[in-house]
Chain A
């Protein structure tokens, strides 16, 4: 283990850090959206219930890790530039160090022993997992031998997917993510400058047409094998934003399980084509409107943090700097399967309590104000509780409240970002811009000054539910709010739009 600490001390730190030492609870899948386990076939629930990327509810409790064993790619995307690699930066396609399959397997053991709620190992690049099939499958082979309880997943652009479905099945990879940004090659030609196909670089509509055909074929082959498929789509305003409704229908009809529409990341300093041409990303309202439009069709994932290809930890945090090759080579790791199972049982018990508390609160809401909806922001460091100080929050989770539900609809980054040009701005203004569409922000603690400034911006800072469950607390607040509308004390008003900050949190940027 790490220098001088016992396993127990590290477990204790993990538990305190997460606020889940006492934690647990099941009951509902919230697969990206809020679908309950009751809506899912038992065998599917079993596959997603502790997968943080496939279940919104699981992402409050379970962690994932990516190992960067797949550096090569077989296509070029206008939102991707693999050349730029800032350690303080977080977005897909970026890593600090590449790993061999052998080192990757050692890293998985080190992380699994330190973070008992780490349940999922993914290969997401930094290139394309299936453009590096030998490295990807060798990694799966090694990990399935040493840590059989860890779920394996991969993500791919789909070009090579039909060639590898049998091998994916062989290694029991039961979650595959395919990035599909279009079902019309004319749209695709604006997103993909080229593909490498049958020993040639192809461009334009021909390239996009082949990619599209391979994506659809691969998706159909996976779902025919019973493998759960999540489709990721990058929302690029003016290029594929309206078109993604068509994509949603196409992938649903081919059996995709979950659709994750993500905002384009296009800061000019990343050096991507879209960054350099000034292509903007969507606003928070635009993104939510599109997700809402597609939600009638299928489960939507809204909790994606667009993490790095070497991310480690809960979604929204990145502990990869604790597990560099140098550090893991010094760790003596003993894989404690029983200890991991015990820890996860405690998590399940906490989840159950959380779910029951929420349902009890919902049962109590009358339908008199069925039309009233509001967004609230939550400061949390995991475990499904309001347990982060306002000033320490690196992100806020956004919940939409109504008399029918408390639904997770997104998250907003607010940590200072190394090269985004935000370094000098007032951090409180950053937060207000990021949660400007919310009526309230729930925190474990907040100072008097920011509280007053938030109030002036029309955002109520709420401390009274510190360390309580998120959804139960938010619904109680909502009930009070409805009571005040009824008594005429307040009038419900719609809030404005909010800004989506780019990238995700890394430890270095917090320390900087």
Chain B
């Protein structure tokens, strides 16, 4: 799995973008999106997912259950 951003909740504040250790966050059509193939859920970098920790709106950066869980190499 990876994280995804609920676009209807995203305020487009950009706080998550520079915090992502995988450079997996991009602005797209006025809100931000996470490129699932790049997201490691911050495993190997930080204890907490950085996008979740910095996002000003609760439940906006959430686990994307449609992709397989990330596994550290």
> Is B one of A's binding partners?
yes
A131 CB contacts on chain B under 8 angstroms: 15
Q: Does B53 contact A (CB under 8 A)?
A: yes
Also in contact, A72 and B13, with CB within 8 A (given A199-B46, A199-B48, A200-B47):
yes
Does the CB pair B48–A73 fall under 8 Å? no
Does the CB pair A73–B53 fall under 8 Å? no
Also in contact, A82 and B13, with CB within 8 A (given A73-B56, A201-B53, A201-B54):
yes
Q: Does A410 contact B (CB under 8 A)?
A: no
Does the CB pair B56–A82 fall under 8 Å? yes
Does the CB pair B53–A82 fall under 8 Å? no
Does the CB pair A72–B14 fall under 8 Å? yes
Does the CB pair A201–B11 fall under 8 Å? no
CA separation between A76 and B55, bound complex, in Å?
9
Does the CB pair B13–A127 fall under 8 Å? yes
Residue of A nearest to B13 (CB): A71
CA separation between A83 and B12, bound complex, in Å?
9
Majority SS of interface residues in chain A? loop
Contact of B57 among A83, A132, A199 (CB under 8 A): A83
CA separation between A196 and B14, bound complex, in Å?
14
B57 CB contacts on chain A under 8 angstroms: 82-83
Residue of A nearest to B54 (CB): A196
CA separation between A303 and B54, bound complex, in Å?
33
Does the CB pair B11–A82 fall under 8 Å? yes
CA separation between A74 and B14, bound complex, in Å?
11
Identify which of B9, B14, B19 gathers the most chain A CB atoms within 10 Å of its CB. Answer: B14
B11 CB contacts on chain A under 8 angstroms: 71, 82-83
- Shortest C-beta distance, B51 to chain A (Å), equals 11
A433 CB contacts on chain B under 8 angstroms: none
Residue of B nearest to A85 (CB): B11
Does the CB pair A71–B14 fall under 8 Å? yes
Q: Does A138 contact B (CB under 8 A)?
A: no
Contact of A71 among B12, B19, B46, B47 (CB under 8 A): B12
CA separation between A72 and B17, bound complex, in Å?
10
Beta-carbon contacts under 8 Å, B31-73 to A: 46-48, 50, 52-54, 56-57
Does the CB pair B48–A200 fall under 8 Å? yes
CA separation between A308 and B14, bound complex, in Å?
19
Residue of B nearest to A128 (CB): B15
CA separation between A444 and B18, bound complex, in Å?
53
Does the CB pair B12–A72 fall under 8 Å? no
Q: Does A476 contact B (CB under 8 A)?
A: no
Does the CB pair A98–B12 fall under 8 Å? yes
Does the CB pair A200–B53 fall under 8 Å? yes
CA separation between A71 and B15, bound complex, in Å?
8
CA separation between A507 and B47, bound complex, in Å?
47
- Shortest C-beta distance, A78 to chain B (Å), equals 12
A72 CB contacts on chain B under 8 angstroms: 13-15, 18, 54
Residue of B nearest to A81 (CB): B56
A71 CB contacts on chain B under 8 angstroms: 11-15
A82 CB contacts on chain B under 8 angstroms: 11, 13, 56-57
Beta-carbon contacts under 8 Å, A217-256 to B: none
- Shortest C-beta distance, A435 to chain B (Å), equals 37
B15 CB contacts on chain A under 8 angstroms: 71-74, 127, 131, 196
Does the CB pair A73–B13 fall under 8 Å? yes
CA separation between A76 and B13, bound complex, in Å?
13
A200 CB contacts on chain B under 8 angstroms: 46-48, 53
Query: Please, what's the 1-or-0 string for A61-93, where 1 marks a CB less than 8 Å from any CB in chain B?
Result: 000000000011110100000110000000000
CA separation between A506 and B14, bound complex, in Å?
26
- Shortest C-beta distance, B12 to chain A (Å), equals 7
- Shortest C-beta distance, A35 to chain B (Å), equals 38
B52 CB contacts on chain A under 8 angstroms: 201
Residue of B nearest to A194 (CB): B53
A127 CB contacts on chain B under 8 angstroms: 13, 15
Residue of B nearest to A133 (CB): B18
CA separation between A196 and B54, bound complex, in Å?
6
B54 CB contacts on chain A under 8 angstroms: 72, 74, 196, 201
- Shortest C-beta distance, A261 to chain B (Å), equals 25
B18 CB contacts on chain A under 8 angstroms: 72
Query: Please, what's the 1-or-0 string for A117-149, where 1 marks a CB less than 8 Å from any CB in chain B?
Result: 000000000110001100000000000000000
CA separation between A126 and B11, bound complex, in Å?
11
CA separation between A127 and B12, bound complex, in Å?
11
CA separation between A73 and B18, bound complex, in Å?
12
Query: Please, what's the 1-or-0 string for B1-20, where 1 marks a CB less than 8 Å from any CB in chain A?
Result: 00000000101111100110
- Shortest C-beta distance, B68 to chain A (Å), equals 26
CA separation between A357 and B53, bound complex, in Å?
57
- Shortest C-beta distance, B24 to chain A (Å), equals 16
Q: Which B residues are closer than 8 A to A by beta carbons? A: 9, 11-15, 18-19, 46-48, 50, 52-54, 56-57
Which 10 residue pairs are nearest across A and B when measured between Cβ atoms?
A72-B15, A201-B53, A71-B13, A196-B54, A199-B46, A72-B14, A72-B13, A82-B11, A71-B14, A83-B11
In addition to A83-B57, A126-B13, A196-B54, 5 A-B residue pairs with Cβ atoms within 8 Å of each other are A72-B13, A72-B15, A73-B15, A127-B13, A196-B53
**16 pairs, CB–CB < 8 Å, chain A vs chain B:** A71-B11, A71-B15, A72-B14, A72-B18, A73-B13, A82-B13, A82-B57, A83-B9, A83-B11, A83-B57, A98-B12, A126-B13, A132-B14, A196-B19, A196-B53, A199-B46
